[in-house]
Each structure stands twice: as C-alpha cells, then as structure tokens.
A and B are shown apart, each in its own frame.
Chain A
Amino acid sequence: MQTFIDFISFKDPNVFYVVIGMICINSSSALIGSFAYLRKRSLIGDAVAHSLLPGICLGFIMAGEKNMIYLFFGAFFTGWLSTYLVDYIVNKSKIKQDAAIGIVLSSFFALGIVLLTFIQNGGYSDQGGLNHFLFGQAAAINKDELILFAVILAVIVGSIILFYRSFIIVSFNSDYAKSIGLPVRSIEFLMTSLTVLAIAAGIQALGVVLMSALIVTPAAAARFWSHKLKRMLFIAVVFSVFSGLLGAYISYANSNTPTGPWVVMILSIITLISFVGSTKRGILARYLKARKNKSKILLENILKAIYHYHERQNLENDLNLVLASAEILKVRRFDTTELQKGLNQLIRRGFIGRENNNYFLTEEGMTESKRIVRLHRLWEQYLLKRTSMDIFHVHSGAEAIEHILSPEIEKELEKELGIVGIPKEDF
C-alpha cells in the first residue's frame, strides 16, 4: 500500500517523469497504431520495433555514449529503413508481405544483437543499461526525454487532426484516394514515418521486443467496442494509457523489473476481456444471444404443442383444456427437464397458469399460441407457393423460421398469400 501511495503522490520525482512519459508514449502509439491496424499494416510495427535495435547501437557507437538524441535518430533511421525494405521486397519480388516482414525483422534484430555484444565487449564506459532497450525500463525515463516524447505526441496528434480526411480515405480505399488525385504515396509515407516515430519513442520504456504490441493491441481491443473511428481512437488511447501506467507501477513496486512485459500483459488481458465481453462483437454477447434464441424456440414450441393438442380434439377455438405435462409430451417429445423449465418460465411470463400440477393457457397464452401456429403455416404456404419444395419437406423448412418472422413480415405474407386467420392445412 505504501508503494502505491508513493507512486501516485509522485514522492519520487522520477515517478512523475515515468507517468507523464507513459501517457505520451502510449497515446502516440495507440493513435497512429489504429491507422496502421485499419490499413492491415499491424505486422509492420513488429518489423519496425525489432529493427530499431541496430539503429540504437549505431547511435551509441557514433556518439560514444548514451546520448538520447543519437540513439533516437539512429533508431528512427533503421526503423524507417526496415519498412522501406519490406515494401521494396514485396514490390520487386514474388515474396509476399508476411515473408518479407519475417526476413527483414529477423535480419535487423540479429544485426542489432551482434552490435550490442560488440558494444558490451568494446570497453565503452557508459554502456550499462543499453540492454534495457530489449525489454524496456520505464524508470529510466528522464526529464530531457520527456520533452522529446511530448513533442512526438504533439506531432502525431497535430498530423492526425490536420490530415484526418487523407488518413481515413487512404486507409479505407487507397485506389479511390488516388482516383481523386490525392498524393497517396506521400500520405502513406507520412503515416509510416509517424508510426516509426511512435515506436522509436517507446523503445526506452517498453523495449524493442514488445513495443509493437502498443501499435496493434489497443486498436484491436478498441475495435470491439465501437463502430465509429473517432470513438475507437479514444478507446484505444484509454486502454493503452491505463496499461502503461499500471504496468509502470507494477514494475516500480517490484524493484524495477522490466516494464514492457507488464504493460503488454495488461493490454492483452484488456483485449481478452474485449473479445469475450464486448457488447457488439464479443463472444459473450453472441453466447447470450444464442441462449436467448434457444429459450424463445423452446417456449414457443411448448405453446404450439398445447395448441396442437387442442386441435387434435377439435377444440382449437376454445383452447381451454387443463393438461398434465405428460399430455404435452404426447404431441411433441420435449426433454422432460427442458419442458419443466419452459413451463415455469411461461407461467412467470403469464402465458400459462398452473392448477394442481396441471397446466392451462391464459388469455395471452391463447393469443400467443395461435400466432405461432399461424406463422408456421403461413410460411409453409409461402414455401409451397413460391418454391418447388417437396410437400414432405415443407414442415421442417418452416419449423425454425416461425420463431423469427417479424410482425412486418407476417403482414407481407398475409398480403401476398391472401390468408386471414390460421390455415387449416398442417404438413
């Protein structure tokens, strides 16, 4: 608890730098990453991030010390070079993008590791902490870097506001953008450069190995929650900043273990929750809907069975028998526990009444059962009239459909078939 209070009260001035730094880095990468995601260029982020390592090492060798400006521009240069190479390989050979990314990523990363070992054995005095660039060390953010990160965030936000129309049109349909005369190549170049910039900003805090997650994952998670681009961008930033801060805190509280893995773990959990729980596209929503449909089908089938029972005794105009559940089972073979559950639900909804363990239809139940039987038979008639469906198959063809026909479709069917009331024929 004490560490938490220390953390949020900025007792340690470094914590303040880390918090502001993470906000800048994570917002930058989530914003421009969303466009990379929409352009299906997410994997490029991985190539770029890994390709920053040789640039950092070269920057270090050139400066002879850990000069952030040298490191940053070295990283930006090799990162940018890697995206250029991926595009070059794809355009000039038969190698596809996934393979090209794999080739470029691994060769740059290998080169980076070679340079890193070279530096570590090369007797440089100030090389300690260079390997933080592998997995990230948010605690190492200092005041000067903070200014750099803030500038990068400002550049990215400014570009997105200024070029918003260009960015969406190129991301959605670049051929069309070209057809109205937009400089598509320049716009793509700008988007790529901003992506490299955002990734380069994050290497110190997140590390080259995991930085690409900050490009892809917030956008992918946010897409579950919104169909609107602006809202999606906002949600991506919120997810990313939250993970960044929480990750930095955990890393701080655990005697400065690497930050990158924590941040990515939290982001991944958020994505998983989005995947399961999102209202629009999550699997939980789909599961609940499937369950609701199943229950609707069961309830309507029970009402239909009760109607059929009456019809067999020519009592379909009265619908007033009091039945034991065994009698319903004679009409349709329900699973007995399912039937019991369904009957209880129908009672709760007021469609069925109970009398000494026997059941009867209420007023609403009568109307409802008639409606379902009618829909089933209207659909059968429609199939017979409009398709060449065999008369023996018409019943099963209508069996599931009756539950989904809306009142508007019912009206249209009525109009088209010219049938009022419940058709007598049942197939």
Chain B
Amino acid sequence: MNENCAIEVHNLTTTYGGAPVLWDVDFDLPAGKIIGVIGPNGSGKTTLLKTIMGLLEPSSGYVKIFNQDLSKMREKIAYVPQRESVDWDFPASVFDVVMMGRYRKGNLFKRTNNTDIEIVEECIEKVGLTEFRNRQIAQLSGGQQQRVFIARALAQKADIYLMDEPFVGVDAATENSILSLLEEMRNTGKTVLIIHHDLQTVSDYFDYLVLLNTRLIAKGTPQDVLTEENLSNAYGGQLTLLAKVANLIKENQFPIREKDVDL
C-alpha cells in the first residue's frame, strides 16, 4: 500500500432502493492535495462521500482511511454536509454550531473547556464570521451558512476534509476566500475532497480529480481527466446502456454481484 494514500476506495458499490448508485468504484486518493469529485447530477457524488463517511452502508467493497478502518480514524476526518440538508431555523448561534465541531464521542458528557473555546473562536475568524459570532443561524445569508459549516469542520482539527458542494449559493468573493483557506490547509498537509459542479473552474481549483457517473470514468490530474472523451463519457449520455442495466437490476430485485465471486 502506498504510504501517501489518504483515502482508499476499494471496489465500492452502494445501492439505493435496489439500483446501484455507485458501481464498482475503485481509486486511491493522494494525501496533501485538493481533490475534486465531478460528474453530472445523480452520478453518485454525494453517495460516494456519504459512503466514505460511513453514513451509508456499501453493498460491497470497503473504504480505508490512511490504511485503517474508518472507526479508528473518525477524529482524522471531517465532513461538511450540503447546506440544504439541515433546517437553519434551528435555535442556535454561529458559535453554537461551530462548537459542535469540538464534540467527540469521548467528551459528550464533559463541559466546554477553554481550549475548545479558543479553537472555535479561531475557526470562526478563519472563515471571516467573527462579527456574526452570536448571530442566530437563520439570520445568515446562504454563503455565511456555508462558512459556518466549514468553520465547524475546521474546529474538528482533522487531517482529511470531505465537503459536499461548499460553493453552492456562495458569491464570488466568498468562493475565493474559501478557496485560499483550502489552499492554506493543503499547504499544511491536509487533504481536502470536494464535490464540485462547475466545470469552468475545475482545473484552477483542484490538484487531482475523480470523474464519476455511477461508474468511475476517470481519475488523475486535471489534464489527464478533462479530455473530451472522458467528459463525453460522463456527461454526453453515452452511458445510457449502463443506466438501462441498473434499471433492470432494480425492477427485478436482482443481486449486483454473485456471492462467490472473489473481489
């Protein structure tokens, strides 16, 4: 196993209601890079992140974090869900939400200590929300809410960050400031995995790319991945056969893999 591998995704298949959403996806991601996950709508990007995070159970295959099981590496990996996945009308302040980043399985019954408070303040400052520290989260703009989520992940002090569409609903200035924050994180050796949908900016933002459409279409540096052939494979509707087979599987409740096949 490569020393420099942050996330190993091994022959991963995840199904939703019987149909495969991720199908035999297999790749190793290098540490210390900003990595983009791209692909059309419904191509399994969010499912990939959720499976890596252990929020969804894969039907076959496995994920290793720095060559270890996820359960041992929970504190090394931070997750930024999609902004729309929560109700922002929850009675909490910016500070309260970022403080959630300090919660651990081991400290749930403890009181907040000064180190936690310092880290939280520092993370709020990093995303530029200090003046909104006590603001109720419902009263923030979309971009500010997104930054609250990023600050919460920063407060986890992890080594790997998985972010689901952190640039959605964010204005250009905020997008730039988030990006320079990510670059700063990379330069201190962190690995950042980001779901992204804007192909225009892909080659500027990322060191490494994963192109998905249920299957893994391509992986590698942006030059390697962003070829006309790869893109038309992912976006051009060339994969209709794949979709038809997936549908057949779902309709007939067919197993995706025979039990005795060796992986």
Contact = CB atoms under 8 A, between A and B. Distances in A.
A212 B104 CA distance: 34
B104 A229 contact: no
Contact of A168 (B79, B81, B85, B92): B92
Contacts of A291: none
Given A165-B108, A172-B97, A179 B79 contact: yes
B135 to A, nearest CB: 9
A172 B90 CA distance: 7
Contacts of A163: 108
Nearest to B88: A172
A122 interface: no
A169 interface: yes
A326 interface: no
A229 B100 contact: no
B91 A178 contact: no
B241 interface: no
Interface in B9-62: 50, 53-55
Nearest to B111: A165
Contact of A181 (B105, B138, B152): B105
Contact of A175 (B81, B90, B100): B81
Nearest to A280: B136
B19 to A, nearest CB: 14
A176 B156 CA distance: 12
A165 B108 CA distance: 6
A226 B55 CA distance: 33
B2 interface: no
Contact of B91 (A166, A176, A181, A228): A228
B103 A180 contact: yes
Contacts of B81: 173, 175-176, 179
Contacts of B85: 173, 175
B92 A166 contact: no
Given A179-B54, A181-B71, A229 B91 contact: yes
A40 B90 CA distance: 11
B132 to A, nearest CB: 13
Max chain B CB contacts within 10 Å: which of A38, A169, A181? A181
A181 B138 CA distance: 27
B153 to A, nearest CB: 9
Interface string B154-172: 0010000000000000000
B231 to A, nearest CB: 31
A179 B91 contact: no
Interface in A206-235: 223, 226-229, 232
A329 interface: no
Interface string A177-199: 01111100000000000000000
Interface string A52-86: 00000000000000000000000000000000000
B229 to A, nearest CB: 36
Q: Main SS of chain A's interface residues?
A: helix
Interface string A327-348: 0000000000000000000000
Contacts of A171: 90
Nearest to B103: A165
Nearest to B164: A175
Max chain B CB contacts within 10 Å: which of A168, A171, A176, A181? A176
Contacts of B78: 179
Interface string A30-48: 0000000010100000000
B93 to A, nearest CB: 8
Interface string A90-118: 00000000000000000000000000000
A162 interface: yes
Given A178-B54, A181-B74, A172 B103 contact: no
A227 B91 CA distance: 5
Contacts of B260: none
A172 B136 contact: no
A66 to B, nearest CB: 40
Contact of B108 (A166, A176, A227, A229): A166
Contacts of B156: 180
A184 to B, nearest CB: 10
Given A163-B108, A179-B79, A180-B103, A223 B74 contact: no
Contact of B90 (A38, A178, A181, A226): A38
A39 to B, nearest CB: 9
Interface in B66-124: 71, 74-75, 77-79, 81, 85-87, 90-93, 96-97, 100, 103-105, 108-109
B91 A182 contact: no
Interface string A135-172: 00000000000000000000000000011011011011
B109 A175 contact: no
Contacts of B105: 180-182
A162 B85 CA distance: 27
Contacts of A226: 91
Contacts of A40: 87
Nearest to B156: A180
Contacts of A181: 71, 74, 104-105
A176 B100 contact: yes
Contacts of A165: 103, 108-109
Q: Which 5 A-B pairs have the closest CB atoms?
A: A179-B79, A181-B74, A227-B136, A229-B91, A173-B86
Given A168-B92, A172-B86, A178-B54, 15 more contacts: A38-B90, A162-B109, A165-B109, A166-B108, A172-B87, A172-B100, A175-B50, A176-B79, A179-B74, A181-B71, A181-B74, A182-B108, A226-B91, A227-B138, A229-B92
24 contacts: A38-B90, A165-B103, A165-B108, A171-B90, A172-B86, A172-B90, A175-B50, A175-B55, A175-B79, A175-B85, A176-B79, A176-B152, A179-B53, A179-B55, A179-B79, A180-B103, A181-B74, A181-B105, A182-B103, A182-B105, A227-B138, A229-B91, A229-B92, A229-B96
